[in-house]
Structure 1
Amino acid sequence: MPKTSSSSPAVPDTMWLGHGRHLGPSPEQDVRRNLIALQAAGVIDGFLALTPAEAASSAVGGLADPFDGEGGAPALDPSARQVFEARWRVDDEVTVRAQLTTYESAERRKHGEAVAWVLAAEAGRPWDPRWPSPATMFWPDSDSTEWDHDAVPGPRLRLTHRLPEDDKEMRRLLKECSRQSWSVHVVIHEAMTPDARGSRPVTLFLPPGLRHRVVEHRASPEQSQIVNWALKDLRVHVPRGGAVVLPSTPAPPGYDADAFSVRNVFLDGTEPTELIEKIMAYAALPRALAPEAGQAVDFLRRRWHLLTPEEELDRARGLVGRYAEALTAMAESRDAYREEAERARAALASAGAPGPAGTPGTSGQAPSPDGPARSGFTQVFGRLRDAAKRPPPPP
């Protein structure tokens, strides 16, 4: 059985995460057109298109947050091209906030082909796979736009993917899918060559929120032994004419290869009920949060700019409260520093130390203790001073 790990943080149950590659010439234009159309149709409440510099800024609604650096706020990868934010509602009352970031990939720089993308969406309650896919809120739900290539070169998210004929290439691909992809990967062995109906992706039977998180691999009838040899390192087995849901690396807690395999999948165009149940059960397991996914979650939660007027007002009130706390802390630090200085003068006076003018118990200048009160005063004052010097955000 594949090794499991509980040391890594898990994906929050309110999150939908995806990443992939766009092979077309104008990915950002495809996103922008789709968002404009969906907003006009009332599907989404609103959206923003931000440059990397704008996305990384803490200025929202023209108001900068001078306390932003206190918690190590996340920064965008230098290869980021653009960030899109969108907000919509599900079940009439649950708000979903999502960010899509496009990146200049090494492959594109080398071949001029693919743009990488990362999508993070969070709802106000645990994610329901019956909700609309966040992918189709940003990307057009059309086969003519090639946004749906998995992050691992080769497979696509909305189509069946034929496994390579070369056994070593097949083995390499399946290992990479297990280790690098955030998608759920399913391997189906065809007992016989299916007709047109059986060639359609079984992922079409999944609920909308899962369709763009699953990659379907197909092994031809003659690849039965080869595919199981290729899966040997993952310690899973595909029954002849059946299917198996591949584990990620590390495997999620509760994964058992036998529990996520299906002995028979009838590829005749009807719903493969048992396989769909296995895929949904696997997708519901706790998943380890990959480092790149963790950055996307952090950025979504702490660099969100698409606020409603009510949210902007709440944010402004929060900043006012924090300013008041900072000013109170400055006043307390000033008073504490003054008391320390007076105690120091009193100590000098009791020791009979002459001041510069010959007056006992005085000195030419107050001592400057380097204690915590002074440190707190200067730190808070420095933050407010830096915030005042910060240029206003672009209109």
Structure 2
Amino acid sequence: MLSSPNVRPPTPLTVWLAHGHHAGSAAGEVVRACLERHKDGGGIDDFHEPAEARIEGEQVFEARWRVEDTVTVRARLTLRDGHAWLLVAEAERPWGLHWPSPAAMFWPQDADWDRDPVTGGRLRALNPLPQDDKAVRRLLKDAARDGWAVHVVVHEAMTPDERGLVPLAGMLPPGLRHRVVEHRAAPHQLRVVNWALRDCGAQVPRGGAVVLPGSPVPAEYDTDRFSVRTVFLDGSEPAELLAAVTRFAALPRPLPDGAEEAVTALREQWRLFTVEEELARQRALVAMYADALEAMTNSRDLYREAAEQAHEALAAYREVVGALPEQRPGPDSPLQQLTRTFGRLKETALALRPGTDPAREEERPPTRGSDAG
């Protein structure tokens, strides 16, 4: 996927993305056991651990399943350092939020794998804000800049009872349950929360909630459109808040940091093929190699033809040069002959002129005029 250094490509409509942190140990074994259970139960068609994709400190798992019986989903989970994980899934058509969450195919419900790497909160629970004001400001600023998860801040108008402590995740569509982080602000924290959020333009109504914009902010984001004036924390379903979260998740957004490489790896390094897919892949490779061989053969024939023509031209040149007579200096032109004749006559005249020979000048006796003087 090509992109400029400053503009990230948009998230494809067919792609589902999530990342997290596994707090336990042996994360690879947990994922493998979960995939085996889903395969035995028919939840997935197959899974694979490509050995060529494994590097130091990294494991890769591929899984394939079908939704609505006809739509194939391919997913790739990468584990780094035994704890950090990144999951990308792609379907054959735009993703449906009512489809099962890909994270639920790789992770069991009873494992501590759903920690948000940005804020430390959990994806399947509600997360009370810290009591320290500085910690609140730092956490919410990080949440407002996160491009991976959907962060929701809910303000408690008054301290709720057990009915008001039901997480929002369980009421969301399956495709959003592992992509939303719910933050709960106590009644006295409204002021510090809105002060922390003023830079991103979001505000939490008293007793209400707001969906944070993330970074970069989607072009269609409007704090009024994604805030809810009142959320009843009495165990009832907050329909207005659920609708706001769903609308926000449907906005076109650029790929977050690190996601472009993950999508490229899923598409170009995929190894979990069916028999039909492997046959089609081998046929495509054979066709590609045949085209390459044909191109090489054509290039070789063209080179041979050019070399033969060059040899023929060289031989013809040699024959022509051998048939030419020996080249001798041509006769002088009449002008050159006349010039040389005049030159010889001039030299002869100077030689015959009296008093021009220095030897004769020395032998000549002095005149009387010279003696008288």
Is TM > 0.5 for Structure 1 vs Structure 2?
yes
Name the CA distance, whole Å, in 2 between partners of 1:339 and 1:32.
Answer: 60
**193, 199, 207: which one aligns with 1:233:** 199
The alignment status of 1:130 with 2:98, answered yes or no, reads: yes
Shift of residue 179, structure 1, vs aligned partner: 2.4
Q: Deviations over 1:274-299 (max 9, x none)?
A: 00000000000011112410011000
Distance 1:183 1:9 in 2: 18
Residue 14 (structure 1) aligned with residue 14 (structure 2): yes
SS at match of 2:20: strand
Distance 1:223 1:261 in 2: 17
- Structure 1's 204 and 351: CA in aligned 2 closer, same or farther, altered over 3 A? same
Gaps of 5+ in 1: 1-5, 57-77, 105-113, 359-395
Partners of 1:79 and 1:199 in 2: CA distance: 42
Q: Could you tell me whether the CA contact under 8 Å between 1:219 and 1:227 is conserved in 2?
A: yes
- State the Cα distance separating 1:260 from its structure 2 match: 0.4
d(CA) in 1 for partners of 2:63 and 2:33?
A: 13
Relative distance call for 1:80 and 1:99 in structure 2 (3 A) is farther
1:118 aligns with 2:86: yes
Q: Which of residues 65, 68, 79 in structure 2 aligns to 1:102?
A: 79
| Contact 2:16–2:90 (8 Å) recurs in 1 | yes
Residues 299-338 of structure 1, C-alpha deviations (whole Å, 9 max, x = no match): 0001111111010100111111011101101101101111
Q: Choose the corresponding residue for 1:219, options 185, 188, 191.
A: 185
CA–CA distance in structure 2, aligned partners of residues 291 and 216 of structure 1 = 22
Aligned: 1:275 with 2:241: yes
Quick one: which amino acid aligns to residue 182 of structure 2? Answer: E
Instruction: State which of 61, 84, 87 in structure 1 corresponds to 2:64.
Output: 87
Per the alignment, residue 366 of structure 1 pairs with: none
Deviation at 1:79, TM superposition (A): 5.6
1:1-395 maps to which residues of 2 (within 5 A)? 7-51=7-51, 54-55=52-53, 80-104=57-81, 115-142=83-110, 145-352=111-318
Contact residue 167 and residue 230 of structure 1 kept, 8 A: no
Distance 1:40 1:220 in 2: 45
In the alignment, the residues of structure 2 paired with residue 232 and residue 79 of structure 1 have an alpha-carbon distance, to the nearest angstrom, of: 43
1:338 to 1:205, Cα distance in 2 relative to 1, 3 A: same
Cα 1:350–1:180 change in 2 (3 A) is farther
Could you tell me whether the CA contact under 8 Å between 1:46 and 1:86 is conserved in 2?
yes
Q: Which residue of 2 aligns with 1:393?
A: none
User: Number of matched residues?
Assistant: 319
User: Which amino acid in 2 is paired with 1:304?
Assistant: W
Displacement of 1:201: 0.7
Larger Rg computed on CA atoms? 2
Task: State whether residues 100 and 120 of structure 1, in contact with CA within 8 Å, keep that contact through their aligned partners in structure 2.
Answer: yes
State the Cα deviation string for residues 327-354 of structure 1 (Å, max 9, x = none): 1011011011112212322332343299
Give the conservation status (yes or no) of the 8 Å contact 2:125–2:168: no
How many Å apart are 1:124 and its aligned residue? 0.7
Distance 1:307 1:90 in 2: 17
Cα 1:249–1:353 change in 2 (3 A) is farther
Percent identity over paired residues: 56
In the alignment, the residues of structure 2 paired with residue 86 and residue 103 of structure 1 have an alpha-carbon distance, to the nearest angstrom, of: 18
Change in CA separation of 1:89 and 1:81 when aligned onto 2, cut-off 3 Å: same
CA contact (8 A) 1:152 1:181 kept: no
Instruction: State the TM-score, normalizing by the size of structure 2.
Output: 0.82
Contact persistence 2:156–2:184 (CA under 8 A): yes
- Alignment match, 1:75: none
How many angstroms apart in 2 are the aligned matches of 1:305 and 1:234? 42
Residues 111-165 of structure 1 deviation map (CA, whole Å, 9 limit, x = unaligned): xxx71100000011000000000000000022xx110001214211001011122
Q: TM-score, normalised by structure 1?
A: 0.77
C-alpha separation between the residues in 1 aligned to 2:161 and 2:99? 31
Q: In the TM superposition, what whole-angstrom CA distance separates every residue of 1:83-106 from its partner, at most 9, and x where no partner exists?
A: 0011111011101000000001xx
Secondary structure in 1 aligned to 2:11?
coil
Q: Is the 8 A contact 1:130 1:209 kept in 2?
A: yes
Report if aligned partners of 2:231, 2:238 keep a CA contact under 8 Å in 1: yes
Name whichever of 343-352 and 204-213 sits farther off: 343-352
Instruction: Please give the per-residue CA displacement for 1:331-379, whole angstroms capped at 9, x wherever unaligned.
Output: 011011112212322332343299xxx9xxxxxxxxxxxxxxxxxxxxx
Q: Distance in 1 between matches of 2:301 and 2:251?
A: 55
Q: Output the CA distance in 1 between the equivalents of 2:134 and 2:312.
A: 84
Counterpart of 2:265 in structure 1: which amino acid?
Answer: F
SS at match of 2:79: strand
Deviation of 1:49 after TM superposition, in Å, equals 2.0
Partner of 2:368: none
Please list the CA deviations of residues 24-52 of structure 1 after superposition, one character each: whole Å capped at 9, or x if unmatched.
0111111011111111111111101234x
Give 3-state SS (helix, strand or coil) of 1:149's partner. Answer: coil
Which 4+ stretches in 1 moved above 4 angstroms?
Answer: none
Contact 1:160 1:215 (C-alpha < 8 Å) held by counterparts: yes
Which consecutive residues of structure 2, in runs of 5 or more, have no partner in the other structure? 1-5, 323-373
Q: Which amino acid aligns with 1:306?
A: L
Q: Is the 8 A contact 2:15 2:94 kept in 1?
A: yes
Q: Secondary structure at the match of 1:150?
A: coil
CA-based RMSD: 2.1
Q: Given the superposition, is the C-alpha separation of residues 238 and 18 from structure 1 closer, same or farther in structure 2, using an over 3 Å criterion?
A: same
